[in-house]
A = this chain, B = another copy of it.
Amino acid sequence: MRWSKSLIPTLKQVPADAEVPSHQLMIRAGFIRKLGSGSYSYLPLGWRVLNKIIGIVRDEMNAAGALEVLLPSVQPIELWQKTGRDVDYGETMARFEDRHGRLNVLAPTAEEVVTHVAAGEIKSYRQLPFNIYQISFKFRDEFRPRFGVLRSREFIMKDAYSFDADAESLEKSYRIMYDAYRRVFDRCGVPYVIVEAESGEMGGSGSHQFTVPCETGEDIIVTTENGSYAANIEKAGVDAPPPNPEAVATREKVGPPEEVHTPGVGTIEAVCKFLKTKPREMIKTLIYTAGEEGTDTVACLVRGDHDVNPEKLTQLIGHHELAAPETIESVTGAGVGFAGPAGLVEKVSKLLVDHSVAAMVAGTTGANRTDYHVRRIVPGRDFPLEGEKVVVADIRNAVEGDTREGRKLVFKHGIEVGQVFKLGAKYATRLGCEFLDENAESRTCLMGCYGIGINRIFAAAIETGHDRDGISWPVSIAPYEVLVLGASPKPEGRAAAEKLYRELRAGGVDVLYDDRDDVRPGVKFKDADLIGFPLRIVVGDRGLSEGVVEVVRRSDKEMRKVPPSEVPALVAEELAAMRAECAARANEGP
């Protein structure tokens, strides 16, 4: 391809609304343009990158035996009502009424439709297992789209779904995808870690997340220092504090609870300021509703400097929501913001106490009386740590200083680029996806689902591969592998560049030729660095007078002068080395 025949509108200015490097560089390098909030056009070079990523993903899915399909993106709402996810997705799922008054959704994912389709085709255990996938348009009406294509409304997702007869077979199918994902990210050349994950609104019994560590990522991953454990923040378990007989002994010396008038002081910060205490010395009391009918009330106690982890709560009490103000008032007898553990156990269905709270000597907390807090609430004395309704457990997010199996936890930001889930029977049960087993008895399929964010790999590669001049691509997903940069305005210089370009192209090299005659070499150099072609061949007057051209690697800017005749061989060699490097770079980890 010739630059003059393509559309590569590079920009010098950093766009005002682009916060992260990948977003800035994608716009500056002419890869994308914004159409509206969270909506981007992919220009020729941007599409080439996406298409290369798609090629790698497709290749590895096919190699893993998955079958490509294409499912409708516009789906009847009735499908989503069967699983209740029309409610779970809320406003994030776009809906519209068609001309005949039927309600349709723009699919944010495809568990429902794929299970519906499979339910119609699966008759016998003989058809199992299989795995079908698609690479297609998805839409999520994000409340706040941001970071360019990292959190956009419209995106391309590879989503695969496995169907198995039993748990052992699901485990195998899951493992096959897990391994295929490793190959995908290895080949894409993005550094990644695999962490244990909660399955969230997907439901199911196990999940791993593939995350590219980088400062700008929205996800938080938690690892032990030695890497023996890795999970995302939603999943990461923490050790309970070690038994502390001294603290328990100290409790006996603590005086009785003391109510304090704290008018209008509701937040932890405000209470601390008012009572001159610290968040870690406070007990937060949160009231949730749970249970099939949503009529159970559950009180959760965490330290003032901790946050409840909704995923851990789901594991303990299933689906739950923060209680409505009326419920809180009726349970505590006080306005919102003044709940406390004393006397609460009789009023709720369950009392969940975080390990860290159970280990406190005493704490300050709400008095269950509007505008009052109470000091010197002692665990085990003023509220129970044992009993039928009481569970002491890990119900909070991990924080700095926590340990896991005695090892210190380390926190990193990252970009989630893929996730694999064991869904089990959740969707299959609700959508009637059954088969007859060897004994002609009807059984429910077990499913897995496996997603890759194509656009996010694009962004993650830039986040982890750029410098002040621009992007440095893994060779496998670079918009072009090689740039021939025509730096000579003279006819003979242009002819030499043209000849080299033709030779490389004839040799099957993925090459772009900067043939622009209305642009100075300096601009061409800057554009080349910005876009980040892994290999650049500069055909300039000075070099030609010495009988050489310059071959420059983008990654380390190493330059070699070689006669034009030696370029094809050198290019082949360099590209082969870069391809090998791709997987190595990916496996380096965080």
Contacts and interface: CB of A to CB of B under 8 A. Distances in A.
Interface of A: 4-7, 9, 33, 35-37, 39-44, 46-48, 50-51, 65, 67-76, 91-92, 94-96, 98-100, 102, 104, 106, 113, 116-117, 120-121, 126-127, 130, 132, 134, 136-137, 139, 141, 143, 153-154, 156, 518
A154 B73 contact: yes
A40 B132 contact: no
Given A96-B96, A96-B106, 19 more contacts: A6-B130, A7-B130, A9-B121, A35-B75, A35-B113, A41-B70, A41-B72, A42-B70, A42-B71, A44-B132, A47-B70, A51-B68, A70-B156, A74-B154, A94-B96, A98-B153, A99-B143, A106-B106, A126-B518
A386 B156 CA distance: 61
30 contacts: A4-B126, A6-B130, A7-B67, A7-B130, A7-B132, A33-B117, A33-B120, A35-B72, A35-B76, A35-B117, A36-B72, A37-B100, A41-B70, A41-B72, A41-B117, A42-B69, A42-B70, A44-B67, A47-B68, A47-B70, A72-B154, A73-B154, A74-B94, A74-B139, A91-B99, A92-B99, A94-B104, A96-B106, A98-B141, A126-B518
Contacts of A117: 33, 35, 41, 43
Contacts of A92: 99
A143 B100 CA distance: 8
A114 to B, nearest CB: 8
The interface centre, meaning the residue of A4, A33, A35, A120 with most chain B CB atoms within 10 A of its CB, is A35
A71 B41 contact: yes
Given A44-B67, A68-B51, A98-B141, A121 B73 contact: no
A73 B137 contact: yes
Nearest to A114: B41
A509 to B, nearest CB: 16
Contacts of A156: 70
Given A69-B43, A74-B154, A91-B99, A35 B116 contact: yes
Nearest to A68: B47
Given A99-B143, A113-B35, A130-B5, A74 B41 contact: no
The interface centre, meaning the residue of A9, A96, A117 with most chain B CB atoms within 10 A of its CB, is A96
A201 B530 CA distance: 42
A517 to B, nearest CB: 9
A324 to B, nearest CB: 22
B153 A74 contact: yes
A269 B92 CA distance: 54
Contacts of A37: 100
A117 B30 CA distance: 12
A106 B74 contact: yes
Contacts of A43: 69, 117, 121
Contacts of A9: 121
Given A7-B132, A74-B139, A137-B137, A69 B41 contact: yes
A72 B32 CA distance: 11
A39 B7 contact: no
A106 B126 CA distance: 41
A136 B135 CA distance: 11
Nearest to A50: B70
The interface centre, meaning the residue of A44, A69, A126 with most chain B CB atoms within 10 A of its CB, is A69
Contacts of A48: 68
A489 to B, nearest CB: 16
A121 B68 CA distance: 36
A275 to B, nearest CB: 39
Contacts of A39: 72, 74-75
A537 to B, nearest CB: 23
A448 to B, nearest CB: 16
A323 B499 CA distance: 65
A117 to B, nearest CB: 5
Contacts of A121: 7, 9, 33, 43
A518 B124 CA distance: 11
Contacts of A6: 67, 130
A135 B588 CA distance: 36
